[in-house]
Chains A and B, each alone.
Chain A
């Protein structure tokens, strides 16, 4: 406990604090020292204390009497499944939501009501899960959005560019501050977002899945930054679904489940499986359930597929009873490959065979008709009509079966198709009439898969099916894939997370620069090996073969 209330005068050693805070609130980027002096004052003490916070949304109790503390110089891993209330809690701390009940103390000072602006001013910065940048503004303009630098009453882009350059350089982020954010790839955008949060000289940093789009080198860099900030007395809340990351940075973990506080412990004194069991509320015996199947005949083949720069001369085959993983860095052309195969993007050349017969795919409908379907990345954007009901979503690609020749929708058939789908995939919902976006991430993903499997599909392509969903739902998605494999349906599995690619696939293709650089049997594959080929730029596999022949 620090001091009880704000109106009581603080202990003499911290007398200077309130005025310091005012200075600090102005967030002048030039003086970093002030921030660190302030951090030093609080080192080891609680800088955030939330007590019995509750928050309800219509129909859901998102947070139920949750208490939360954060010390200066500490990295706290805030863990829990999707919908456990992590983001809600952090949104309350950053002023996006207001709490229903409970008390908050920041830097020992009682705070009743926070808005994004006052939160920023009291030294809290959040790096959001969804990228929150303006595409039409430059990097520097984004970094200084809301606290623009003004000289003589006029915006000074020159000064902002200079300051942004300093900030980016300080954190070793290699981006030109004058580029339009809209022209940056996702991983760079994420770095801009991080730089933006750091530039506010926040003492309390909330990172919500900061690494989801970063490459391993950038992650290393981020961890170095985190360690440095920690030494300088910042308190950092770190939210991630990638539990493997925690060991590098986290001091303490706190676990939420269903909006309730479960436990909090020192990271050193626990294990990952203990953490997972607290998160899920039960033991998950197998993180990557593997099913062994006999490899059957070839069901799907792609020959010499070309589509733009990101898909160059892609060839591969897929056999019955296997899951074919495609690994690679962001921007390696994996998504583009699946989209080109599916007919969502135009192809320049290439042949596609299903069951040994060549098929012509010009648009998604052609692919669907021959039994080739795609579960796209980014559920909300490409996978679901979020405002429509679950039933309508499942019926959408199957309307040719459900509707009569005249185009009349047969309600009974629709009902039946939906019912089977919900049952087969164990989708948890009150009824099929609820809008798709009311479901949790994992259940949404199941709706997408189920809508494709309501018809007799032969090949299913999954593009990042587990991004942003919790451990338990991930396992369910793996089980669905295993199920398909058992039924003799070909599964193509694109993922950026190497552990799951290694854990689930039978064979792995590695892509880099729009080309397949290596094909590996899972028995021979290791993370290092995959990474080696994922960074093999400028050479394709056939290229290499040619070289060997010569």
Chain B
């Protein structure tokens, strides 16, 4: 009896939003790591792994933001531009001699406005998310260009040494700070998504917006929160880029929004909303990073790398659809037996 209860629990865990795909892609990720490790042992060196994790961070962070938005059934195309905008705003302020930490706060505030704008345009003015964020994407890129009169900034200088250490170069307990920051943000948002009322509402809105509305869920604030999370994550990535290069680049974050979609979708977040967990996004971002890094070590030229990654994105999602279709047929059968034909059980 107890055992059965436990097994049921396990079953339920597996049935949980997109858990199946998380497991499939985790196996895939392990496979990839083994293959690349065999192709070039340096790939598995501590140094490379540490670097690899730091490389994964931006994709994962933007992926977290995009996952939040995708779960509500929307999309955020402005992520890459907000990364660029944050990079330029923070760097420009620092070159103007403003305290780096004040600059960081101002940057977060500025991009929150973009998040707020996205959320309200979609939830209040009822613009399609694709269009609204296409607009803000262009606006944010424009702002990135305007803040320093259409030039990349000069070096942010020695005053920003602490800032650069904090976001990129420094290490704590042997791990790069970037990795700690990413882990912290992931933990916070994973908690928000899985254990709080807001999180539940995000799923509900993505699953059936009418049902959520009629159940008293505040649709507008829920969607806006998702976009605020996305803007927060993008800003963090922008700051990491500023810290990395020590200057502001107008093109920073170009097409990051799409990498973020890829990381989310590989990890089992549905673009149709209502489904996905942040654990999946971690795996998705890792596959993305491992492929980039591993193919580089295996000596593949950039063009080949791009093609391979594109193919893999399509295959993972295709695989998931095939698996899910099969499972659905099976489930429908099982469900039918349980629910429609209670009589059957006694007769056989």
Contact = CB atoms under 8 A, between A and B. Distances in A.
Contacts of A147: 215-216
Main secondary structure of the interface of A (DSSP, over half): loop
B39 to A, nearest CB: 40
A147 B214 CA distance: 12
B347 A183 contact: no
A135 B273 CA distance: 11
Contact of A145 (B204, B333, B340): B204
Nearest to A178: B12
Contacts of B348: 538
Contact of A537 (B203, B210, B218, B343): B343
A243 interface: no
6 contacts: A128-B214, A135-B207, A137-B203, A188-B339, A196-B215, A513-B341
A513 B211 CA distance: 31
Nearest to B194: A155
- Shortest 4 CB-CB contacts between residues of A and residues of B: A134-B207, A146-B216, A146-B215, A136-B274
A535 interface: yes
A185 interface: yes
A117 interface: yes
Contact of A135 (B218, B274, B340): B274
B196 interface: yes
Interface of B: 12, 15, 17, 195-197, 199-201, 203-204, 206-208, 210-218, 274-275, 329, 331-333, 335-336, 339-341, 343-344, 347-348
A155 B218 CA distance: 17
Contact of A309 (B199, B275, B333, B343): B333
Given A96-B214, A116-B215, A150-B197, A132 B340 contact: no
A41 interface: no
B210 A132 contact: yes
Contacts of A466: none
Interface in A95-123: 96, 116-117, 120
Interface string A453-467: 000000000000000
Interface string A131-152: 0111111000110011110100
Contacts, number: 106
A146 B332 CA distance: 29
Contacts of A94: 214
Contact of A134 (B211, B336, B340): B211
A126 interface: yes
Contacts of B201: 146
A407 B107 CA distance: 56
Interface in A170-218: 178, 180, 183-185, 187-188, 196
Nearest to B15: A180
Given A148-B197, A185-B340, A513-B341, A134 B208 contact: yes
B216 A117 contact: yes
A215 B169 CA distance: 66
A528 interface: no
Contacts of A185: 335-336, 339-340
A430 interface: no
B341 A537 contact: yes
